[in-house]
Amino acid sequence: MHREKILQMLARHVPFGPAEEAARARTEEFVRSNPQCFENLCEAGHLTCSAWLLDPSRQRVLLTHHRKLNRWLQLGGHADGDPDVLAAAIREAQEESGIELVRPLSEGIFDIGVHDAPAHDGMGRHEHFDVRFLLHAYGSNEFVISDESISLAWLTPEEVEAMDVDDDVRRMNAKWQRDWRGID
């Protein structure tokens, strides 16, 4: 029963091309096949929840230079057993940025990605099925760098495009520009 909401969200999500459709289909199959998909210790992998976090003006996105992966990514992390993936994405954005006032711009999924996760904390290599949401920081754009990050930066779409980032970050940047930038 606790998987029904995420399965409904996955079914409603309209992917942005074949790569995201493949990630959506794999994530749906993973959730259906793994009742413990929200748990960090699920050996087949687990759901992670991420945030494409926009500043108060909605003109910049906050990316993290991830300490373990040594690359620029959206904020996010494990669901930690929480089947409310949107709430988990908000929690992760708050924890990783120190920004308290974070709200969703939409309750629907913004993006989906699947990626390999290195072995850590007694777990072998596994997969992260990452469900991403479009969030908005209200009031302040002041952040605090957590232990998980080397750095954080508010970036314009043009700055993100000029960076060495993975295809998923490029796709989210394109979606933001196409569908959400400048919308109040």
Per-residue pLDDT averaged across 29-35, rounded? 94
Other C-beta atoms within 10 Å of 92: how many?
26
Kindly compute the dihedral angle of the four CA atoms of residues 59, 62, 65, 66, in this order, to the nearest 10 degrees: -150
Per-residue pLDDT averaged across 40-63, rounded? 91
pLDDT digits (tens, 9 = 90+) for 77-130: 989 889 999 999 999 999 999 999 999 999 999 999 998 877 666 676 778 899
Helices 4-12 and 18-33: crossing angle in degrees, nearest 10, is 160
pLDDT confidence of residue 98: 94
pLDDT digits (tens, 9 = 90+) for 136-182: 999 888 898 888 888 889 999 999 999 999 999 999 999 998 876 55
pLDDT confidence of residue 126: 76
β-sheet bridge partners, residue 126: 117
Which comes out higher in pLDDT, residue 69 or 23?
23
Sign, Cα dihedral of 61, 62, 64, 65 = positive
User: Hey, what are 51's tokens?
Assistant: 């945030």
Distance in Å from the first CA to the final CA of the chain: 35
Write down the number of H helices and E strands in the chain.
Answer: 5, 7
Q: pTM here?
A: 0.93
CATH H-level, domain 4-180: superfamily? Nucleoside Triphosphate Pyrophosphohydrolase (3.90.79.10)
Which comes out higher in pLDDT, residue 40 or 83?
83
For 62, residues 6+ apart whose C-beta sits below 8 A from its C-beta are 53, 54, 55, 75, 97, 99, 137, 143, 152, 153, 154, 155
pLDDT confidence of residue 182: 54
- The domain locations on the chain are 4-180
pLDDT confidence of residue 6: 96
For 118, residues 6+ apart whose C-beta sits below 8 A from its C-beta are 68, 125
Task: Pick the closest to residue 10 from 176, 131, 145 (CA basis).
Answer: 131
51 pLDDT more than 80: yes
